[in-house]
């Protein structure tokens, strides 16, 4: 009995350890990374196109199958988009203080700018026929800024004074859903050329993005 009890306890401990090893076994995943040059159509917000860079890193979940020979992955990314701006000018009547400064009219030179960047968290489904779908959430930071210069003009159109007003800005942040469709064309064993189109719903408007780049996948 003195010998049997320790052996039984030891065997039980080994079995428990074996089960623990099975439970702690590393998941069946593969790594992939993707970098794309992108062009976003910001017309819904009153601006021209904006160029940028979209970098994604993800994991293929090999135990998840959504179709024969397809792959499913989870990914996170960083989006850096160039600032876009619009310039305009108009002439208006002077205010009382501007009249007191000698102005008969005021030429206003105005610049509006939009700066958008952030991070993405989403999923990617790759079919065996080059086609892929991706979707998720864009954790964005949006900054709108308005700058104005007021040129005070006398009755003859000569400049009396130039006033540089302080910029007025509005910053917003949130999560915007996105959905995209694209093609991944194999170039080498682990390297593919990717091209896609994506729609992002930001605030009350949606905008489209075209992207082209490379994906490395093992």
- Average pLDDT by stretches of 10, the chain with 218 residues: 45 50 71 97 93 96 88 96 92 92 92 95 95 97 94 90 91 96 96 98 93 96
pLDDT of residue 3: 44
C-beta separation of 138 from 120 below 8 A: yes
Question: Is residue 212 in a domain?
Answer: yes
Q: Which domain holds residue 94?
A: 27-217
C-beta separation of 56 from 38 below 8 A: no
Question: Is residue 37 in a domain?
Answer: yes
pLDDT of residue 66: 86
Q: Greatest CA span in the chain, whole angstroms?
A: 116
Non-local (6+) Cβ contacts of 81 within 8 A are 38, 40, 50, 51, 52, 115, 116, 117
State both tokens at 218: 């093992």
Question: Is residue 134 in a domain?
Answer: yes
> Quick one: 33 exposed, middle or buried, by C-beta within 10 A (0-12, 13-18, 19+)?
middle
CB atoms inside a 10 Å sphere around CB 105: 15
Question: Is residue 69 in a domain?
Answer: yes
pLDDT of residue 11: 44
pLDDT of residue 26: 75
Question: Is residue 1 in a domain?
Answer: no
C-beta separation of 154 from 144 below 8 A: no
pLDDT of residue 23: 56
Instruction: Name the pTM for this structure.
Output: 0.79
Tell me the CATH number at 73: 2.40.160.20
Question: Is residue 18 in a domain?
Answer: no
Non-local (6+) Cβ contacts of 125 within 8 A are 66, 70, 71, 72, 73, 132, 133, 134
User: What total number of domains does the chain contain?
Assistant: 1
State both tokens at 165: 């007003």
């Amino acid at each position: 009995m003195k010998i049997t009890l320790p052996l039984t306890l030891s065997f039980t401990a080994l079995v428990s350890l074996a089960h623990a090893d099975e439970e702690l076994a590393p998941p069946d995943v593969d790594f992939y990374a993707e970098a794309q040059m992108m062009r976003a159509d910001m017309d819904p917000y009153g601006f021209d196109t904006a160029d940028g860079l979209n970098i994604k890193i993800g994991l293929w979940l090999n135990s998840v199958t959504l179709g024969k020979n397809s792959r499913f992955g989870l990914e996170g990314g960083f989006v850096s988009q160039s600032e876009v701006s619009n310039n305009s000018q108009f002439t208006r009547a002077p205010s009382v203080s501007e009249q007191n400064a000698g102005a008969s009219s005021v030429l206003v030179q105005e610049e509006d700018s939009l700066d958008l960047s952030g991070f993405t968290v989403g999923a990617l489904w790759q079919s065996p026929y080059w086609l892929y779908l991706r979707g998720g959430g864009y954790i964005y930071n949006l900054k709108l800024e308005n700058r104005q210069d007021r040129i005070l003009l006398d009755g003859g159109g000569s400049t009396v004074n130039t006033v540089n007003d302080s910029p007025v800005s509005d910053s917003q942040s949130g999560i915007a859903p996105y959905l995209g469709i694209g093609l991944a064309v194999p170039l080498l064993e682990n390297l593919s050329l990717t091209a896609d189109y994506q729609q992002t719903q930001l605030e009350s408007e949606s905008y489209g993005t075209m992207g082209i780049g490379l994906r490395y996948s093992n």
